């Protein structure tokens, strides 16, 4: 009698890069014969893909490991693996603090996971393997995408910046760029599978090309994406203001399938704080970029990341941040209270801001961000927007059923799937609809009028074909990447 295949569960924390890595881990496990555990079931293998950006990241990990200890003790053969940035940082410390962990692997060797699991099973002892540099670019690994219509595509890994609050460079290593031909070949393969939207992914996409000596490589890549037949939407994250150049703005504005959306981390509006953060730009440069982007793309939605309470931040410094927020009029801002990241220069800086002061400033910032975002969204009421329908059922209450989609500027829109006669409109994830915005809320838009048009797409066909198959446990033959639901931990590491 054939034994049932072992089941797995991957738990992901952190930024888009970790989400993308988890899709690779999933693909590796499925290629090795594992199948996804059913909902609510305890998996035979639980993999933690960790983040080290937040101050309490280790407490969160060890708390979760502690909950699993008695579960594992009651299930002979169960295995636990820990990977990602925290594993790269803590290394052997993880098995000391949680000796029931079977495998620890780093950011540079995610492809080793199946072998390490088997070795730990055979040898009956923990396996810790942390490489200091990347040997194989991870996009060559098999990947199980969560989405049938949208995909991540890595253009680079690692980072050459030295921001004092960030530990990413020491964990992800120096930047390594893929050649444009490799990136475009992956995009074409994805489009052949039914993908119509890609997000180009890197710790600092603007510096793409430095490794092979072409400082215009990223703008050239954006323009080349415009020539890929069947590719409808291109996004990218995250750029760095210090390296953001006008050729990229021109490429965005002149390439029809590059979306009018920009996520550009600010972190602080104070020149003094930016200097202490070792961010190599100043307020005037940041606002200048915003001005040029809006001149080229008046309808662009600009989002950002902001840290409140960096060591030494005064009330005057914070006021400068508020000034930039008022002038930039962000569509959304991911706001964070500064927390010490062990291993970063900022963790040892003097003049740590008292927590009550940080909290009060944070609340003022959030209120301003929401006020502006709400006003910007209300200004869109009455406008017809094109949406790519998202996966999931959208919002549902006693009186209203809505689907959800993303506008070209990436705003989230909840819409009623009805036509002018009140009949139901069938729109699959990946299909494209046109709707009129009836209400602008602080964090989303609503379109409760009739759907103006529906365009069935190859992406919708791909979603339909996928949902006709088992939802889990089907390895993909090509090395591909995908866009799952957003992760709450961070917008980006930049």
Domain that holds residue 289: 138-378
CATH number at residue 74: 3.40.50.12160
Q: Which of 300, 269, 301 is nearest to 282 (CA)?
A: 269
d(CA 473, CA 26): 9
CATH number at residue 182: 3.80.30.20
Tokens of 231: 């590719």
Distances (CA, A) of 105 to 44, 48, 172, 442: 18, 10, 13, 41
By the 10 Å C-beta count (0-12 exposed, 13-18 middle, 19+ buried), 124 is classed as exposed
**Which H or E run contains 355?**
helix 355-378
Contact (CB, 8 A) for 208 and 202: yes
Buried b (16+ CB within 10 A) or exposed e, 230-242: bbbbbbbbbbbbb
Q: How many C-beta atoms surround the C-beta of residue 79 within 10 A?
A: 22
Q: Are 119 and 205 part of one and the same domain? A: no
Q: Which of 372, 456, 453, 383 is nearest to 413 (CA)?
A: 383
Q: Is residue 267 domain-resident?
A: yes
Q: Are 320 and 430 part of one and the same domain? A: no
Q: Is residue 466 domain-resident?
A: no
Of the three residues 340, 357, 378, the one that is the final residue of a domain is 378
Structural domain count, the chain: 3
Of the three residues 75, 104, 129, the one that is the final residue of a domain is 129
Tens-digit pLDDT string for the chain (494 aa): 567 899 999 998 877 788 888 888 999 999 999 999 998 899 999 999 998 876 677 788 999 999 999 999 999 999 999 999 889 988 889 999 999 999 999 988 899 999 999 999 999 999 999 988 776 677 777 778 888 999 999 999 888 999 999 887 778 788 899 999 999 999 999 999 999 999 999 989 999 998 899 999 999 999 999 999 999 999 999 899 999 999 999 999 999 999 999 999 999 999 999 999 999 999 999 999 999 999 999 999 999 999 999 999 999 999 999 999 999 999 999 999 998 887 789 988 989 999 999 999 999 999 999 999 999 999 999 999 999 999 865 554 445 689 999 999 999 999 999 999 999 999 999 999 999 999 999 999 999 999 999 999 999 999 999 888 644 333 333 233 333 333 334 445 56
Of the three residues 129, 152, 187, the one that is the final residue of a domain is 129
Q: Are 24 and 58 part of one and the same domain? A: yes
Q: Are 362 and 397 part of one and the same domain? A: no
pTM of the model: 0.85
Q: Are 81 and 23 part of one and the same domain? A: yes
Contact (CB, 8 A) for 13 and 21: no
Q: Are 203 and 292 part of one and the same domain? A: yes
Q: Are 227 and 330 part of one and the same domain? A: yes
Q: Are 107 and 166 part of one and the same domain? A: no
Q: Are 349 and 269 part of one and the same domain? A: yes
Q: Is residue 487 domain-resident?
A: no
Q: Are 150 and 292 part of one and the same domain? A: yes
Q: Which of 326, 304, 322 is nearest to 313 (CA)?
A: 322
CATH number at residue 411: 2.40.50
Q: Are 297 and 425 part of one and the same domain? A: no
By the 10 Å C-beta count (0-12 exposed, 13-18 middle, 19+ buried), 99 is classed as exposed
Contact (CB, 8 A) for 40 and 4: no
Q: Are 408 and 337 part of one and the same domain? A: no
Cβ contacts of residue 59 below 8 Å, gap of 6+?
none
């Amino acid at each position: 009698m054939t034994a049932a295949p072992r089941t797995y569960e991957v738990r992901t924390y952190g930024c888009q890069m970790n989400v993308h890595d988890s899709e690779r881990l999933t693909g590796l496990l499925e290629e090795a014969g594992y199948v996804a555990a059913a909902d609510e079931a305890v998996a035979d293998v639980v993999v933690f893909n960790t983040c080290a950006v937040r101050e309490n990241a280790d407490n969160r990990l060890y708390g979760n490991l502690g909950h699993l200890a008695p579960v594992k003790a009651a299930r002979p053969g169960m295995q636990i693996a820990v990977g990602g940035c925290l594993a790269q940082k803590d290394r052997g410390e993880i098995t000391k603090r949680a000796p029931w962990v079977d495998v620890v692997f780093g950011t540079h060797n995610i492809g080793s996971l199946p072998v390490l699991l088997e070795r730990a099973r055979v040898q009956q002892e923990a396996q810790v393997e942390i490489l200091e540099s990347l040997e194989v670019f991870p996009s060559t690994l098999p990947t199980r995408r969560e989405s049938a219509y949208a995909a991540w595509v890595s253009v680079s890994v690692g980072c050459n910046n030295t921001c004092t609050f960030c530990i990413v460079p020491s964990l992800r290593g120096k930047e390594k760029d893929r050649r444009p031909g490799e990136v475009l070949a992956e995009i074409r393969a994805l489009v052949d599978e039914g993908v119509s939207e890609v997000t180009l992914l890197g710790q600092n996409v603007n510096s793409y090309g430095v490794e092979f000596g072409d400082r215009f490589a990223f703008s050239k890549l954006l323009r080349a994406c415009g020539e890929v037949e069947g590719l409808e939407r291109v996004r990218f994250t995250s750029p760095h203001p210090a390296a953001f150049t006008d050729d990229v703005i021109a490429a965005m504005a002149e390439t029809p399938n590059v979306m009018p959306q920009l996520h550009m981390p600010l972190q602080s509006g104070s020149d003094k704080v930016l200097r202490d953060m070792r961010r190599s730009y100043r307020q005037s440069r940041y606002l200048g970029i915003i001005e040029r982007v809006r001149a080229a793309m008046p309808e662009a939605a600009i989002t950002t990341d902001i840290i409140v309470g960096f060591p030494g931040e005064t009330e005057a410094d914070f006021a400068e941040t508020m000034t930039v927020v008022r002038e930039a009029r962000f569509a959304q801002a991911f706001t964070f209270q500064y927390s010490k990241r062990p291993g970063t220069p900022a963790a040892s800086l003097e003049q740590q801001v008292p927590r009550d002061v940080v909290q009060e400033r944070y609340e003022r910032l959030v209120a301003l961000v929401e006020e502006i975002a709400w006003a910007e969204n209300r200004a869109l009421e009455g406008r017809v927007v094109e949406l790519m329908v998202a996966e999931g059922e959208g919002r549902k209450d006693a009186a209203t059923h809505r689907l959800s989609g993303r506008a070209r500027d990436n705003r989230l829109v909840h819409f009623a799937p009805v036509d002018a006669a009140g009949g139901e409109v069938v729109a699959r994830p990946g299909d494209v609809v046109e709707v009129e915005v009836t209400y602008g809320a602080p964090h989303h838009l609503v379109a409760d009028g009739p759907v103006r048009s529906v365009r069935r797409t190859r992406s919708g066909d791909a979603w339909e074909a996928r949902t006709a198959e088992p939802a889990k446990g089907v390895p993909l033959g090509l090395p591909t990447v995908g866009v799952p639901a957003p992760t709450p931990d961070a917008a980006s590491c930049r």
